Structure 1
Amino acid sequence: MAAWFYEAVLLFAIGLIATLLFSVLVQMRSGIDTRRWLLQGFLAVVFAIYFSYLWTRGQTLPMKTWRIRVVDRHGRRLTQGRALLRYLFCSVWFAAPLAAYNSGRFSLPQLGFIAAGWVALWAMLSHLHPQRQFWHDAFAGTRLVDAPER
């Protein structure tokens, strides 16, 4: 989970730069602009490229820091398709908080509680997996393994 939080810091920076680029290119001047859905789609594609590129090489920077490597079920590097599949299944981490946000029925503190609770629940569910892997990895045919120190 520590690598996950480190990843969030990097994604914030990547998302900030991508948003600036998008906003300049399409002349988007406000967050309530009707093109915000295009921006969200653009960010999803940028993040998909980031993760799939690095996962096919085995690790993102936070994964290197915490000596974690992502491999397929047989211990091989991920293919581009498998990395994209993992990216799609990883969206489960954000499914409930995004659904709650889109409902418009919750305040910001309530959304924070929902997000924290969902992330904690999804992380704890890994204890039900026989190899203690996250379920999105099981569904995508991937697993996290210890990376030896070089």
Structure 2
Amino acid sequence: MTQRRFTQLDSVTPAALPRRLAAMLYDGFLVLAIWLVVTVMHMAFLRFVLGRSAESIGTGNLAVATLRLLLVCSAAAFFTYCWRRGGMTLGMQTWRLRVQNAQGGPISLSQSLIRCMAAWVSLAAAGLGYWWVLVDPQKRSWPDIASGTQTVVLPKAAGKKAARHKAAQNKAAQK
């Protein structure tokens, strides 16, 4: 996988809690959709490949354990892929957030996996790992601290109005 080279390194600011929570909500819907697909595939595998009866699907400890493992791994794969590829998930793109290393570059695979593990711990602790942003002077969450990364807000891109104005100026100059 090729990594993008990050730009706008000097014009980013640490992400505040409300923006992070909004991106997490968006990404939660994406993860839910992924989990639905994984669950259907798991059930189809049990039913049609292993030949289990419809009534027995989801009743055995092994089936439940494998489904849970698949759900955790699929969520980790989603976040790891997005963070490594461009530093952001779809929810993060919407809210102009990016995860980057301390030097402002893309995070490593190990940093991604550590972020995922720390995120589960943060959520399991009633979200305390994310509320930590309110008390940390650098606005870091537990996943940020544990992985040596930072979540930043990207500056707004030039607006459509400015782009239209520039296009109109270019058109007038050509006449």
Q: TM-score, normalised by structure 1?
A: 0.77
Quick check: 1:93 aligned with 2:122? Answer: yes
The structure 2 residue matched to 1:69, chosen from 63, 82, 98, is 98
The structure 1 residue matched to 2:74, chosen from 25, 34, 46, is 46
Number of aligned positions between the proteins = 128
For residue 98 of structure 2, give the secondary structure of its aligned residue in structure 1: strand
**Structure 1: unaligned runs, 5 residues or longer:** 97-117
List 4+ stretches of structure 1 deviating above 3 A.
Answer: 28-33
* Greater length-normalized contact order (CA 8 Å, ≥ 6 residues apart): 2
Task: Name the larger-Rg structure.
Answer: 2
- Structure 1 residue 45: deviation in Å? 1.0
* Identical residues among aligned pairs (%): 30
- Structure 1 residue 149: deviation in Å? 3.7
Distance in 1 between residues matched to 2:137 and 2:59, nearest whole Å = 45
**Structure 2: unaligned runs, 5 residues or longer:** 1-20, 158-175
Q: Is the 8 A contact 1:129 1:135 kept in 2?
A: no
For residue 91 of structure 1, give the secondary structure of its aligned residue in structure 2: helix
RMSD: 1.7
Q: TM-score, normalised by structure 2?
A: 0.67
1:75-124 alpha-carbon deviations (Å, 9 max, x no partner): 1101122111111111113324xxxxxxxxxxxxxxxxxxxxx12x4433
Amino acid of the structure 2 residue aligned with 1:145: V
For residue 74 of structure 1, give the secondary structure of its aligned residue in structure 2: coil
Distance in 1 between residues matched to 2:30 and 2:138, nearest whole Å = 28
Q: Is the 8 A contact 2:87 2:99 kept in 1?
A: yes
